[in-house]
């Protein structure tokens, strides 16, 4: 028993011989197996992540697309708002009314507050008077007068007092060349003693201040020595004073 070596001596003898290489080999093998398992697992995760990203790319499309296409298709054309639709309908109705001469209820209501202008500059030669007799120089007597005579040189341009549609152009037996314009709200303006060739025709739409003719001497008994425009206005067929609509002079 005395010859039996201690445990420490046996281990020392083992590692000093072939045992050292056996242990080294086992350590290398364990490290290799561990490394294989580690990288194998990570590879699967990377592959799965790559496949997931690929699916997402196909769903949302390429990233480097045209910036104008960045807006979702359903937002490319927004539906008109109620206000926009109302404005479009109002514009369409206004255009149609301008073309046909028909007036909407709203346009009729605004006729009272519409802005008017005098058809030309000049002194009032004969005022409006239907309730009292006034002296008529041309006729040499006293009578009523349902219009306003505005003195102005021959050829002076005559303007529409307000926007409307030319209702009639004709040679009147008493007033001479006459143009009648229909305005909103049943109002009409009547221009007489114009030059023989007006600048508008029946059915024309005219704007406020648009030229409709010129001062002439086409009314019977009129002479070039006393040229003037005779302006009359009616509301629903009844005579009204033009001065009630036109600006103060």
Mean pLDDT of all residues in 136-141: 68
Cβ-contact 178, 169 below 8 angstroms = yes
Cβ-contact 246, 219 below 8 angstroms = no
% the chain with pLDDT above 90: 41
| The model's pTM | 0.54
Summarize pLDDT for 157-191 with one digit per residue, the tens.
Answer: 999 999 999 999 999 998 999 999 999 999 999 99
Angle subtended at Cα 119 by Cα 142 and Cα 130, rounded to the nearest 5 degrees: 25
CATH number for the domain formed by residue range(s) 124-244: 2.70.70.10
- Give the pLDDT confidence score for residue 233 in this predicted structure: 97
Cβ-contact 120, 229 below 8 angstroms = yes
Enter the tokens of residue 134.
């006034």
DSSP category for residue 78: P
Average of per-residue pLDDT values in the chain = 74
Residue 64 has pLDDT above 50, yes or no: no
């Amino acid at each position: 028993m005395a010859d039996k070596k201690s445990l420490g001596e046996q281990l020392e003898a083992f590692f000093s011989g072939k045992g050292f290489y056996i242990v080294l080999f086992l350590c290398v093998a364990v490290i290799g197996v561990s490394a294989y398992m580690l990288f194998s697992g990570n590879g699967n995760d990377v592959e799965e992540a790559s496949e997931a990203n690929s699916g997402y790319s196909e769903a949302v499309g390429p990233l480097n697309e045209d910036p104008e296409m960045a807006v979702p298709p359903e937002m490319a054309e927004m539906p008109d708002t109620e206000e926009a639709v109302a404005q479009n309908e109002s514009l369409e109705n206004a255009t149609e009314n301008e073309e046909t001469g028909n007036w909407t209820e709203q346009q009729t209501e605004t006729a009272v507050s519409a802005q008017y202008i005098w058809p030309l500059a000049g002194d009032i030669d004969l005022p409006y008077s239907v309730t009292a007799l006034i002296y008529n120089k041309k006729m040499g007597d006293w009578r009523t007068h349902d219009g306003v005579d505005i003195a102005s040189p021959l050829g002076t341009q005559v303007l529409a007092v307000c926007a409307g549609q030319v209702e009639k152009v004709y040679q009147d037996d008493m007033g001479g060349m006459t143009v009648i314009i229909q305005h909103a709200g049943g109002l009409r303006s009547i221009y007489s003693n114009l030059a023989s060739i007006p600048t508008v025709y029946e059915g024309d739409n005219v704007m406020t201040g648009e030229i409709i003719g010129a001062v002439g001497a086409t009314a019977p008994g009129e002479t070039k020595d006393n040229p003037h425009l005779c302006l009359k206005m009616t509301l629903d067929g009844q005579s009204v004073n033009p001065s009630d609509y036109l600006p103060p002079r």
